[in-house]
Structure 1
């Protein structure tokens, strides 16, 4: 009898434990007994944007609650920390976090959007057209999306959610200079020059120039860091020992304001001829010019 009683007690205990686990897990995974609006996804188009460019933010709002969310209001803001000064002494008393849209400007709309209803377990999409200030530096920026909505009883729910925007840097370095040196002679040493300009608003580091071509036309030189607006000229000599159309590739590598390694390339062309061919082509051009002059003089 005692054995049966013990068995019954153990079975009852196991059943109670199982029922408790079932109740707890049900509570964990049950949807909230209220509307619960969350930014479940957002996309930025185009994916890569730079200061001074237009772009779109597409927000997907999902209501994970059991009740409909009504009169949904979205307000897009920056987080800005402002210093509060004492009016008499001028000393800084405290720092207060203000929310306003400084670095990004809405285009043909305000920073406030409305959705009349997001049903339970449904989603809606909101699109902002924005312009990034050209004075912004490349980097990651946070935008605050302030949400407010109410349930069917008029109870209001508010919260702030944050999304991130990465501003990339436009091509910081420009390589300028002559791209075609025309006819040159075999064995002639030609001086070629490029100009390197940092046209970004940030410093670029580790600027290195590499010249790549056939034969002995290969050089590498480290030029250092370039502040915004800095420029430098780089001159190198080229010599070719065979006829034909030749190319020299000039590569400029650097580290931009986002610590990203970047490389740009400029191709320079040369038409290598023997000295005799260059003389003949020059004489031919002079002869053609004389013939054109005679024809023009007599109206032919």
Structure 2
């Protein structure tokens, strides 16, 4: 059985001999199977994440008022009710609504859209990025949930001369500075589960108007200290030990890496080996990435960005014969005593188990499995009639729904 998009398991090749297999085993009662199928998995819950936001430009300016469009998406397997987005004012202030937006209900796999009017305070002057904390709260089945996000806006700061007068004025000067952004990222492993080792691969670009020197990437968040102006740099260092490693931990090297220099427009691929902690539950997790660097005048910059990593819990199953199937005659019907066992550490809710064979007729080959405890098993007694002598391949397919409500 594959672990993604209908996982199948090819079991055994059956060699037809000149002997007849005997015996018949009756499976569990249909009523018991249906009762198991109706039990609800304790992991059923909504998971609301920020899937998209746009503020109509590439940058914001100190003192600017603008509208932001945001889209929330429910990646869980249950309906999110009473969804409320709350913005905490700081460098960016929410207007008109007091920072609270009611989004309503979001079905599993659905989205909720809203707009919020914002203004950038003068505290963002000279900063590369302004941040706006967001807390999304929602309920399901009388249980409250919340998710925290950090919405970021690139800042463009420029010096503007006074209004023209008869007296001579200097030409307005634009502040040249580097600005590193993550254009794209992906994990080297398609499906991340607790205990899985993977490489986080990032596409980083300098979209600023100046070169970034001695760039350091800090996975989990951190910063560098040193000179913040022109002249001789003062002693400083890079701090990466205060980051959040609850769900993902560095592997093979520290979370601090030097990735070189970036001229304006340069793109560099960076990577970090990580492992998903074994205590991590399935869900969408925010991962903070910091870039620390200096410009050509020795000024130090620290940029923080956030990406989202999805963690799954794929059922761990073993499919085998629960007794010796014996031998088969061509043209004669015999039983296939097949059994699926949950070898994982958690219960699983499974859909239909299906047996298919090329070159033979298979009857009683589909059954609904339902709820399967850890170590539990479920049999399927299919009836096989080979057409001709020779080996046969059995294909066993088991359907299920993953933690983000996607059929697999």
TM-score bin, normalised by smaller chain: 0.5 to 0.7
1:217 pairs with 363, 384, 397, which one? 363
TM-score, length basis structure 1 = 0.58
Q: Pairwise mapping of residues 237-252 of structure 1 onto structure 2 (< 5 A)?
A: 238=383, 240=385, 244-245=389-390, 247=392, 249-252=395-398
Residue 74 (structure 1) shift: 2.0
Q: What is the RMSD computed on CA atoms of the aligned residues?
A: 3.4
- Kindly indicate whether residue 249 of structure 2 is the aligned counterpart of residue 105 of structure 1: yes
Residues 96-142 of structure 1: CA deviation (Å, up to 9, x unaligned): xx842222222221111224532222233322122222333343332
Instruction: Provide the residue aligned with 2:317 in structure 1.
Output: 173
| 3-state SS of paired residue (1:183) | coil
- Kindly indicate whether residue 210 of structure 2 is the aligned counterpart of residue 64 of structure 1: no
- Kindly indicate whether residue 306 of structure 2 is the aligned counterpart of residue 162 of structure 1: yes
Counterpart contact for 2:220–2:289, Cα < 8 Å:
yes
Distance 1:208 1:181 in 2: 22
Change (3 A) 1:109 1:184: closer
| Structure 1 residues not aligned, in runs of 5+ | 1-26, 79-97, 263-300
Q: Which moved more, 1:61-70 or 1:177-186?
A: 177-186
Instruction: Provide the residue aligned with 1:234 in structure 2.
Output: 379
Change (3 A) 1:42 1:32: farther
**Bigger Cα Rg:** 1
Distance 2:260 2:356 in 1: 63
Instruction: Provide the residue aligned with 1:273 in structure 2.
Output: none
Residue 215 (structure 1) shift: 5.1
Counterpart contact for 2:247–2:276, Cα < 8 Å:
yes
Distance 1:243 1:223 in 2: 31
Instruction: Provide the residue aligned with 1:255 in structure 2.
Output: 401
| 3-state SS of paired residue (1:102) | coil
Instruction: Provide the residue aligned with 2:182 in structure 1.
Output: 39
Instruction: Provide the residue aligned with 2:108 in structure 1.
Output: none
* Greater relative contact order structure (CA < 8 Å, 6+ sep): 2
Instruction: Provide the residue aligned with 2:218 in structure 1.
Output: 75
Instruction: Provide the residue aligned with 2:197 in structure 1.
Output: 54
Counterpart contact for 1:211–1:251, Cα < 8 Å:
yes
